[in-house]
Amino acid sequence: MIVHPTQGVLRVLFTLKGSIIKQIALRCLMVTLLAAVIVLVERHYPAFFYPVSATPFTLLGLSLSIFMSFRNNACYDRWWEGRKAWGRLIVEIRSFNRESVVIADAALRADMLRSLCGFAHGLNARLRDEDDLAAARPWLGNAEAISPHNVCNGILLHLGEQCSRLTEQQGLSEWRYNLLAQRLAGLGEVQATCERIKGTPLPFPYTLLLHRTIYIFCLLLPFALAEPLGWLAPLFTTIVGYTFFGLDAIGNELEDPFGRDENDLPTDAMVRTVERDVLAALGQTPLPPALLPVGYVLS
Protein backbone atom coordinates (compact mmCIF):
# COMPACT_ATOMS: atom_id res chain seq x y z
CA MET A 1 0.00 0.00 0.00
CA ILE A 2 1.32 3.45 -0.91
CA VAL A 3 1.86 5.71 2.11
CA HIS A 4 2.72 9.18 0.83
CA PRO A 5 3.19 12.33 2.92
CA THR A 6 1.11 15.39 2.14
CA GLN A 7 1.48 15.98 -1.58
CA GLY A 8 2.48 19.31 -3.10
CA VAL A 9 1.38 20.31 -6.58
CA LEU A 10 4.66 19.36 -8.26
CA ARG A 11 4.86 15.99 -6.49
CA VAL A 12 1.29 15.17 -7.48
CA LEU A 13 2.11 15.92 -11.11
CA PHE A 14 5.45 14.11 -11.37
CA THR A 15 5.57 11.32 -8.76
CA LEU A 16 5.86 7.79 -10.15
CA LYS A 17 5.76 5.77 -6.91
CA GLY A 18 2.30 4.30 -6.69
CA SER A 19 1.33 5.71 -10.06
CA ILE A 20 -0.32 3.41 -12.56
CA ILE A 21 1.60 5.00 -15.44
CA LYS A 22 4.31 2.32 -15.36
CA GLN A 23 1.75 -0.34 -16.22
CA ILE A 24 -0.03 1.56 -18.98
CA ALA A 25 2.86 3.49 -20.56
CA LEU A 26 3.10 1.16 -23.55
CA ARG A 27 -0.63 1.38 -24.26
CA CYS A 28 -0.58 5.18 -23.99
CA LEU A 29 2.41 5.33 -26.33
CA MET A 30 0.59 3.11 -28.79
CA VAL A 31 -2.48 5.38 -29.02
CA THR A 32 -0.25 8.48 -29.18
CA LEU A 33 1.69 7.12 -32.15
CA LEU A 34 -1.52 6.01 -33.83
CA ALA A 35 -3.00 9.49 -33.39
CA ALA A 36 0.16 11.06 -34.84
CA VAL A 37 0.01 8.78 -37.89
CA ILE A 38 -3.68 9.59 -38.46
CA VAL A 39 -3.01 13.35 -38.23
CA LEU A 40 -0.12 12.95 -40.66
CA VAL A 41 -2.35 11.17 -43.14
CA GLU A 42 -5.11 13.77 -42.70
CA ARG A 43 -2.68 16.64 -43.32
CA HIS A 44 -0.71 15.26 -46.27
CA TYR A 45 -3.09 12.76 -47.87
CA PRO A 46 -6.60 14.10 -47.27
CA ALA A 47 -8.00 11.89 -50.01
CA PHE A 48 -7.19 8.82 -47.90
CA PHE A 49 -8.75 10.26 -44.76
CA TYR A 50 -12.42 9.96 -43.92
CA PRO A 51 -13.53 12.42 -41.20
CA VAL A 52 -15.61 11.01 -38.36
CA SER A 53 -18.10 12.97 -36.27
CA ALA A 54 -17.21 13.39 -32.60
CA THR A 55 -20.82 12.99 -31.47
CA PRO A 56 -20.78 9.18 -31.20
CA PHE A 57 -17.58 9.37 -29.15
CA THR A 58 -19.21 11.83 -26.76
CA LEU A 59 -22.06 9.42 -26.10
CA LEU A 60 -19.79 6.36 -25.95
CA GLY A 61 -17.30 8.12 -23.66
CA LEU A 62 -20.08 9.09 -21.24
CA SER A 63 -21.45 5.54 -21.19
CA LEU A 64 -17.95 4.09 -20.79
CA SER A 65 -17.19 6.42 -17.87
CA ILE A 66 -20.35 5.31 -16.04
CA PHE A 67 -19.57 1.66 -16.78
CA MET A 68 -16.01 2.03 -15.46
CA SER A 69 -17.20 3.78 -12.31
CA PHE A 70 -19.42 0.80 -11.48
CA ARG A 71 -16.55 -1.65 -11.99
CA ASN A 72 -14.04 0.42 -10.01
CA ASN A 73 -16.53 0.82 -7.15
CA ALA A 74 -17.00 -2.96 -7.10
CA CYS A 75 -13.20 -3.48 -7.05
CA TYR A 76 -12.72 -0.91 -4.28
CA ASP A 77 -15.46 -2.59 -2.24
CA ARG A 78 -13.45 -5.80 -2.43
CA TRP A 79 -10.29 -3.96 -1.29
CA TRP A 80 -12.11 -2.26 1.58
CA GLU A 81 -13.87 -5.45 2.69
CA GLY A 82 -10.51 -7.19 2.78
CA ARG A 83 -9.11 -4.38 4.94
CA LYS A 84 -12.06 -4.65 7.34
CA ALA A 85 -11.57 -8.42 7.57
CA TRP A 86 -7.90 -8.02 8.49
CA GLY A 87 -8.82 -5.31 10.99
CA ARG A 88 -11.22 -7.75 12.60
CA LEU A 89 -8.50 -10.40 12.68
CA ILE A 90 -6.33 -8.08 14.79
CA VAL A 91 -9.26 -7.28 17.10
CA GLU A 92 -10.16 -10.95 17.63
CA ILE A 93 -6.56 -11.94 18.41
CA ARG A 94 -6.14 -9.05 20.85
CA SER A 95 -9.37 -10.06 22.56
CA PHE A 96 -8.19 -13.68 22.77
CA ASN A 97 -4.97 -12.41 24.36
CA ARG A 98 -6.91 -10.60 27.09
CA GLU A 99 -9.48 -13.31 27.72
CA SER A 100 -6.89 -16.08 27.96
CA VAL A 101 -5.14 -14.60 31.00
CA VAL A 102 -7.15 -16.97 33.24
CA ILE A 103 -5.32 -19.99 31.80
CA ALA A 104 -3.04 -21.03 34.66
CA ASP A 105 -0.70 -23.15 32.54
CA ALA A 106 1.69 -20.50 31.17
CA ALA A 107 3.28 -22.89 28.66
CA LEU A 108 -0.11 -23.90 27.28
CA ARG A 109 -1.25 -20.30 26.98
CA ALA A 110 1.98 -19.35 25.21
CA ASP A 111 1.49 -22.23 22.77
CA MET A 112 -2.09 -21.12 22.07
CA LEU A 113 -1.19 -17.49 21.51
CA ARG A 114 1.73 -18.34 19.26
CA SER A 115 -0.65 -20.52 17.25
CA LEU A 116 -2.67 -17.39 16.59
CA CYS A 117 0.46 -15.85 15.05
CA GLY A 118 0.73 -19.00 12.94
CA PHE A 119 -2.88 -18.48 11.85
CA ALA A 120 -2.13 -14.92 10.70
CA HIS A 121 1.01 -16.00 8.83
CA GLY A 122 -0.78 -18.97 7.28
CA LEU A 123 -3.75 -16.89 6.13
CA ASN A 124 -1.43 -14.30 4.60
CA ALA A 125 0.44 -16.99 2.67
CA ARG A 126 -2.78 -18.78 1.64
CA LEU A 127 -4.22 -15.60 0.13
CA ARG A 128 -1.00 -15.12 -1.87
CA ASP A 129 -1.02 -18.71 -3.17
CA GLU A 130 2.08 -19.53 -1.13
CA ASP A 131 2.86 -22.42 1.24
CA ASP A 132 0.65 -21.68 4.26
CA LEU A 133 2.03 -24.54 6.36
CA ALA A 134 5.63 -23.38 5.86
CA ALA A 135 4.61 -19.84 6.83
CA ALA A 136 2.80 -20.97 9.98
CA ARG A 137 5.19 -23.73 11.08
CA PRO A 138 7.70 -21.54 13.06
CA TRP A 139 4.84 -20.48 15.35
CA LEU A 140 3.25 -23.89 15.91
CA GLY A 141 4.29 -26.08 18.81
CA ASN A 142 2.99 -29.23 17.12
CA ALA A 143 2.77 -28.60 13.39
CA GLU A 144 2.22 -32.32 12.71
CA ALA A 145 -1.19 -32.07 14.40
CA ILE A 146 -2.36 -29.52 11.85
CA SER A 147 -3.93 -30.77 8.62
CA PRO A 148 -2.02 -29.49 5.57
CA HIS A 149 -5.28 -29.38 3.61
CA ASN A 150 -6.40 -26.17 5.30
CA VAL A 151 -3.77 -25.01 7.74
CA CYS A 152 -5.65 -21.99 9.08
CA ASN A 153 -8.81 -23.97 9.78
CA GLY A 154 -6.67 -26.72 11.30
CA ILE A 155 -5.10 -24.22 13.71
CA LEU A 156 -8.55 -23.01 14.82
CA LEU A 157 -9.73 -26.61 15.29
CA HIS A 158 -6.66 -27.38 17.39
CA LEU A 159 -7.21 -24.28 19.54
CA GLY A 160 -10.87 -25.17 19.97
CA GLU A 161 -9.90 -28.66 21.16
CA GLN A 162 -7.43 -27.20 23.66
CA CYS A 163 -10.09 -24.85 25.05
CA SER A 164 -12.58 -27.71 25.28
CA ARG A 165 -10.13 -29.92 27.19
CA LEU A 166 -9.35 -27.07 29.59
CA THR A 167 -13.06 -26.66 30.29
CA GLU A 168 -13.48 -30.39 30.92
CA GLN A 169 -10.53 -30.27 33.32
CA GLN A 170 -12.04 -27.30 35.16
CA GLY A 171 -9.28 -25.03 33.89
CA LEU A 172 -11.81 -22.75 32.23
CA SER A 173 -15.32 -21.77 33.24
CA GLU A 174 -18.14 -22.28 30.74
CA TRP A 175 -18.51 -18.51 30.46
CA ARG A 176 -14.82 -18.03 29.66
CA TYR A 177 -14.88 -20.94 27.22
CA ASN A 178 -17.78 -19.31 25.34
CA LEU A 179 -15.82 -16.06 25.05
CA LEU A 180 -12.75 -17.81 23.62
CA ALA A 181 -14.91 -19.88 21.28
CA GLN A 182 -16.50 -16.68 19.96
CA ARG A 183 -13.03 -15.31 19.18
CA LEU A 184 -12.14 -18.47 17.26
CA ALA A 185 -15.45 -18.30 15.40
CA GLY A 186 -14.68 -14.68 14.50
CA LEU A 187 -11.29 -15.70 13.09
CA GLY A 188 -13.03 -18.41 11.07
CA GLU A 189 -15.35 -15.75 9.61
CA VAL A 190 -12.33 -13.61 8.73
CA GLN A 191 -10.76 -16.52 6.86
CA ALA A 192 -13.99 -17.28 5.01
CA THR A 193 -14.44 -13.62 4.05
CA CYS A 194 -10.91 -13.37 2.66
CA GLU A 195 -11.26 -16.67 0.79
CA ARG A 196 -14.55 -15.48 -0.70
CA ILE A 197 -12.90 -12.30 -1.99
CA LYS A 198 -9.87 -14.24 -3.27
CA GLY A 199 -11.88 -17.03 -4.89
CA THR A 200 -14.67 -14.99 -6.48
CA PRO A 201 -13.32 -12.48 -9.01
CA LEU A 202 -15.59 -10.14 -10.89
CA PRO A 203 -17.46 -11.94 -13.70
CA PHE A 204 -15.06 -12.34 -16.62
CA PRO A 205 -17.47 -11.25 -19.41
CA TYR A 206 -18.08 -8.03 -17.48
CA THR A 207 -14.35 -7.26 -17.35
CA LEU A 208 -13.72 -8.45 -20.92
CA LEU A 209 -16.42 -6.17 -22.32
CA LEU A 210 -14.87 -3.18 -20.55
CA HIS A 211 -11.35 -3.99 -21.79
CA ARG A 212 -12.49 -4.32 -25.39
CA THR A 213 -14.61 -1.18 -25.31
CA ILE A 214 -11.71 0.90 -23.93
CA TYR A 215 -9.36 -0.26 -26.68
CA ILE A 216 -11.93 0.34 -29.40
CA PHE A 217 -12.70 3.81 -28.05
CA CYS A 218 -9.05 4.87 -27.75
CA LEU A 219 -8.06 3.47 -31.14
CA LEU A 220 -10.92 5.16 -32.99
CA LEU A 221 -10.85 8.48 -31.13
CA PRO A 222 -7.99 9.98 -33.23
CA PHE A 223 -10.17 9.74 -36.36
CA ALA A 224 -12.64 12.16 -34.73
CA LEU A 225 -9.98 14.52 -33.36
CA ALA A 226 -7.51 14.69 -36.27
CA GLU A 227 -9.40 17.19 -38.44
CA PRO A 228 -10.65 19.69 -35.79
CA LEU A 229 -7.55 19.59 -33.52
CA GLY A 230 -4.70 18.89 -35.90
CA TRP A 231 -1.43 18.13 -34.08
CA LEU A 232 -3.17 18.59 -30.72
CA ALA A 233 -5.07 15.37 -31.38
CA PRO A 234 -2.22 13.08 -30.15
CA LEU A 235 -2.04 15.07 -26.90
CA PHE A 236 -5.74 14.80 -26.14
CA THR A 237 -5.84 11.17 -27.26
CA THR A 238 -3.03 10.43 -24.79
CA ILE A 239 -4.89 12.16 -21.96
CA VAL A 240 -8.06 10.20 -22.65
CA GLY A 241 -6.10 6.96 -23.00
CA TYR A 242 -4.22 7.61 -19.74
CA THR A 243 -7.51 8.13 -17.93
CA PHE A 244 -9.33 5.07 -19.28
CA PHE A 245 -6.36 2.69 -19.31
CA GLY A 246 -5.38 3.92 -15.83
CA LEU A 247 -8.81 3.36 -14.31
CA ASP A 248 -8.91 -0.07 -15.88
CA ALA A 249 -5.49 -1.00 -14.46
CA ILE A 250 -6.39 0.32 -10.99
CA GLY A 251 -9.50 -1.83 -11.00
CA ASN A 252 -7.38 -4.88 -11.88
CA GLU A 253 -5.08 -4.19 -8.91
CA LEU A 254 -7.89 -3.64 -6.40
CA GLU A 255 -9.83 -6.70 -7.54
CA ASP A 256 -7.33 -8.93 -5.70
CA PRO A 257 -6.27 -6.91 -2.62
CA PHE A 258 -4.08 -9.63 -1.08
CA GLY A 259 -1.17 -9.72 -3.56
CA ARG A 260 2.15 -7.91 -3.66
CA ASP A 261 1.25 -5.00 -5.92
CA GLU A 262 2.11 -1.54 -4.60
CA ASN A 263 -1.55 -0.70 -4.01
CA ASP A 264 -2.52 -3.99 -2.35
CA LEU A 265 -3.27 -4.32 1.36
CA PRO A 266 -0.24 -4.20 3.71
CA THR A 267 -0.92 -7.65 5.14
CA ASP A 268 2.75 -8.21 6.07
CA ALA A 269 2.58 -5.14 8.31
CA MET A 270 -0.67 -6.35 9.88
CA VAL A 271 0.82 -9.79 10.54
CA ARG A 272 3.75 -8.07 12.25
CA THR A 273 1.23 -6.15 14.39
CA VAL A 274 -0.26 -9.48 15.48
CA GLU A 275 3.22 -10.80 16.32
CA ARG A 276 4.00 -7.77 18.47
CA ASP A 277 0.66 -7.95 20.31
CA VAL A 278 1.02 -11.66 21.05
CA LEU A 279 4.65 -11.47 22.16
CA ALA A 280 3.88 -8.43 24.34
CA ALA A 281 1.01 -10.40 25.96
CA LEU A 282 3.52 -13.16 26.73
CA GLY A 283 5.93 -10.66 28.28
CA GLN A 284 8.64 -11.14 25.67
CA THR A 285 11.15 -8.34 25.04
CA PRO A 286 12.44 -6.89 22.85
CA LEU A 287 9.61 -7.02 20.35
CA PRO A 288 10.22 -7.29 16.61
CA PRO A 289 10.09 -3.82 15.04
CA ALA A 290 6.92 -2.68 13.33
CA LEU A 291 7.15 -2.69 9.56
CA LEU A 292 7.51 0.79 8.07
CA PRO A 293 7.06 1.99 4.49
CA VAL A 294 10.07 1.43 2.23
CA GLY A 295 10.11 3.90 -0.61
CA TYR A 296 6.56 4.92 0.37
CA VAL A 297 5.38 1.30 0.03
CA LEU A 298 4.03 -0.49 3.10
CA SER A 299 3.96 -4.21 2.35
Query: Is 125:89 a contact under the CB 8 Å cutoff?
Result: no
Residue 109 banded pLDDT, cuts 50, 70, 90: very high
In this predicted structure, what is the pLDDT of residue 192?
96
Query: Is 293:48 a contact under the CB 8 Å cutoff?
Result: no
In the chain, where the domains are located? 88-201+266-292
Which of 98-102, 190-194, 222-226, 282-286: highest mean pLDDT?
190-194
User: What does 44-99 look like in DSSP terms, one character per residue?
Assistant: H-GGG-----SHHHHHHHHHHHHHHHHHHHHHHHHHHHHHHHHHHHHHHHHHHHHH
Residue 82 vs residue 3, higher pLDDT: 82
pTM assigned to the model: 0.88
Query: With 70 as the cut, is the pLDDT of residue 7 above it?
Result: no
Lowest mean pLDDT across 6-10, 166-170, 229-233, 273-277 = 6-10
Query: With 70 as the cut, is the pLDDT of residue 260 above it?
Result: yes
In this predicted structure, what is the pLDDT of residue 190?
97
Lowest mean pLDDT across 20-24, 199-203, 235-239, 266-270 = 20-24
b/e burial code for range 15-24 (CB count within 10 A of at least 16 → b): eeeeebeebb
In this predicted structure, what is the pLDDT of residue 178?
92
Q: Is 253 exposed, middle or buried (0-12, 13-18, 19+ CB in 10 A)?
A: middle
Residue 240 vs residue 299, higher pLDDT: 240
Residue 1 vs residue 126, higher pLDDT: 126
In this predicted structure, what is the pLDDT of residue 235?
92
